[in-house]
Amino acid sequence: MTDNLSIQLLAIGYHPEIMQVLHRLMNSHSGWQGDIALSLEEGLQQLSDKTYDGVLLGVGVTPEDEATISAAIEKQQLPTRIIRHYGGGSGLLENEVRTVFENLQHK
């Protein structure tokens, strides 16, 4: 992974209070560092400014937004993996991230 061997995550979602919880959860997890973006524009900007291992698509992000994010990642040839986040809290978060990155390690 990138900096300090931590998994660098960007979570994009449009519900500020839920995203604050996600921010806290990401940064309280050993081996993860997380940023949040509260709009599509902000998310695209952050993807341009910093290299992330994964981008979590959270509450409010539509399939059309996902296509825009995917196109931006492809255009900039970023190593960022897209992870659709369901549930809005800690229930599935670790599983969703581990599924992507443990699968990568086994390839």
- Residue ranges that bind other proteins, judged by CB under 8 A: 13, 15, 17-18, 21, 58-63, 86-92, 94-95, 98-99, 102
Shortest separation between residue 34's beta carbon and other proteins, angstroms: 16
- When the beta carbons of 62 and 76 are compared against other proteins, the nearer one is 62
Q: Under a CB-based contact definition with an 8 Å cutoff, are residues 55 and 47 in contact?
A: yes
Beta-carbon neighbour count of residue 53 at 10 Å? 23
- When the beta carbons of 3 and 86 are compared against other proteins, the nearer one is 86
DSSP per position, 43-82? HHHHHHHS--SEEEE-TT--HHHHHHHHHHHHHTT--PEE
- When the beta carbons of 45 and 62 are compared against other proteins, the nearer one is 62
Shortest separation between residue 64's beta carbon and other proteins, angstroms: 11
